Homo-oligomer: A and B are copies of this chain.
Amino acid sequence: MPEISVRGLEIPESPIRKLAPLAVAAKGRGIKVYHLNIGQPDLPTPQVGLDALKNINRTVLEYSPSQGYQSYREKLISYYKKYNIDVKADDIIVTAGGSEAVFFALMACLNPGDEIIIPEPGYANYKAFALLAGATIRTITTTIEEGFALPKVEKFEELINEHTKGILICNPNNPTGYLYSRSEMEQIRDLVKKYDLYLFSDEVYREYIYTDAPYTSACHLEGIENNVVLIDSVSKRYSECGVRIGALITKNEELRATVLKFCQARLSPPLLGQIVAEASLDAPEAYFRSVYDEYVERRKCLIDGLNSIPGVYSPMPMGAFYTVARLPVDDCEKFCRWCLNEFSYEGETVMMAPASGFYTTPGAGYNQVRIAYVLKKEDLERALTILRKALEEYPGRVDEK
């Protein structure tokens, strides 16, 4: 049997999805599983998006242009304008989810051996895509004790050397919910400018910011227009993760021409998803308000609930719909597996994502989990009760002294 490639062996399993077979098995035993592991909102897709599907009158579901439909890219201009982001249709390349945008960005910008700085904990799949590009991740550690704030700019600068090619941030952050301040963003801008780096900025959660602090997009930063690559997706904005529509946006023409070649190789982004995404841009303000209000309530419910469980701590996330919480256990991966394999409370259990998969530093985050608050309040409350019971029963419980 021929060998698997080295990258194939090294690419990590998704910490969000790798326990899925255990959840399937638990369900097979008749146990109800509350999914706190994955950012799959239960909130509805906008009706205008669903209606657009019903109204498709094509007889051929044909390829779309490699860079995405012109009509969709033009309509996105006014969406971004609302956030004070000034783009032209030509700046936008439509991708198969934000995932493909990250992947194309890293493949187009990074050579094997290049280094990219990514704060940790960070979205787990960045690691996978950096590995596919052959690049090395250098980590800026943020800590739960400091609410996952960015460390001082000097810490970044210590990591920069002749191999450093870019910085990747996620803002608001998945998994921590942290929102970068204007001043933090300007520090990053200064570094990017000084060392002529790429700044990859994943901003797919901009709709979900719960503080009064302003949202500073990488596209708001002056003087680094050709360095910035914005990663975007409609998945979370419209609760339509399944349509697989994202975008890579940059003012850098040479980079766009390169990315377009990758786009041509995979032919085109999903046609049906583009139709839904384009229609969803017409979702009424009331849709966003109700979704937003719902997340505000859920956030309070989850964070208050977590912090009321003995030994559990979660900072208050400022954005997105995740939190990273510390649990009083020996090892959260073991604990998460145990919850699915061995535990149930009144026929129910919880599935969470072990946070270690979001860290690059070995051993970091071993006693943390990422929890998504994408379930309705009653379910979150029930899940919190189950988590409390699980922590009481778990044989590997470790209380801090």
Residues of A whose CB lies within 8 Å of any CB of B are 1-2, 4-9, 11-14, 16-18, 20, 38, 40-45, 49-50, 53-54, 56, 58-66, 96-97, 99-100, 103, 107-112, 114, 125, 128-129, 132-134, 165-166, 196-198, 226-227, 239-244, 252, 254-255, 258-259, 261-262, 264-273, 276
Q: Chain B's nearest CB lies how many Å from the CB of A341?
A: 20
Asked whether A2 lies within 8 Å of B268 as measured between CB atoms, the reply is: no
CA A324 – CA B111 in complex, angstroms? 36
Asked whether A14 lies within 8 Å of B264 as measured between CB atoms, the reply is: yes
Q: Chain B's nearest CB lies how many Å from the CB of A247?
A: 15
Neighbouring B residues of A99 by C-beta, 8 Å: 265-267
Asked whether B59 lies within 8 Å of A44 as measured between CB atoms, the reply is: yes
Closest 5 CB pairs of A and B: A242-B271, A14-B264, A128-B265, A8-B258, A272-B272
Asked whether A5 lies within 8 Å of B111 as measured between CB atoms, the reply is: yes
* Copies of the polypeptide in the assembly: 2
Q: A241-B267, A261-B11, A268-B244 are in contact. Are A49 and B61 (CB under 8 A)?
A: yes
Neighbouring B residues of A258 by C-beta, 8 Å: 4-5, 8-9, 11
CA A244 – CA B129 in complex, angstroms? 21
Asked whether B63 lies within 8 Å of A42 as measured between CB atoms, the reply is: no
Residue from the list B11, B41, B133, B265 in contact with A11, Cβ < 8 A: B265
Neighbouring B residues of A12 by C-beta, 8 Å: 261
CA A62 – CA B273 in complex, angstroms? 12
Q: Chain B's nearest CB lies how many Å from the CB of A183?
A: 24
Can you list 8 A-B pairs, Cβ within 8 angstroms, ordered by A?
A1-B226, A2-B109, A11-B258, A14-B66, A62-B242, A125-B267, A242-B272, A243-B271
Residue from the list B60, B112, B242, B255 in contact with A63, Cβ < 8 A: B242
Neighbouring B residues of A66 by C-beta, 8 Å: 14, 17, 20
Q: Chain B's nearest CB lies how many Å from the CB of A298?
A: 16
Neighbouring B residues of A6 by C-beta, 8 Å: 111
Neighbouring B residues of A254 by C-beta, 8 Å: 1, 4
Interface centre among A17, A64, A244 (most CB of B within 10 A): A244
Asked whether B54 lies within 8 Å of A265 as measured between CB atoms, the reply is: no
Asked whether B60 lies within 8 Å of A41 as measured between CB atoms, the reply is: yes
Asked whether A2 lies within 8 Å of B196 as measured between CB atoms, the reply is: yes
- The residue on B at minimum CB distance from A57 is B50
CA A241 – CA B268 in complex, angstroms? 9
Neighbouring B residues of A45 by C-beta, 8 Å: 58-61
CA A58 – CA B240 in complex, angstroms? 11
Asked whether B11 lies within 8 Å of A165 as measured between CB atoms, the reply is: no
Asked whether A11 lies within 8 Å of B109 as measured between CB atoms, the reply is: no
Asked whether B18 lies within 8 Å of A264 as measured between CB atoms, the reply is: yes
Residue from the list B1, B64, B114 in contact with A196, Cβ < 8 A: B1
Residue from the list B42, B242, B244 in contact with A96, Cβ < 8 A: B244
Q: Chain B's nearest CB lies how many Å from the CB of A203?
A: 18
Neighbouring B residues of A128 by C-beta, 8 Å: 261-262, 264-265
- The residue on B at minimum CB distance from A49 is B61
CA A321 – CA B316 in complex, angstroms? 58
Q: Chain B's nearest CB lies how many Å from the CB of A72?
A: 13
Asked whether A65 lies within 8 Å of B20 as measured between CB atoms, the reply is: yes
CA A64 – CA B109 in complex, angstroms? 30
Neighbouring B residues of A252 by C-beta, 8 Å: 1
- The residue on B at minimum CB distance from A261 is B11
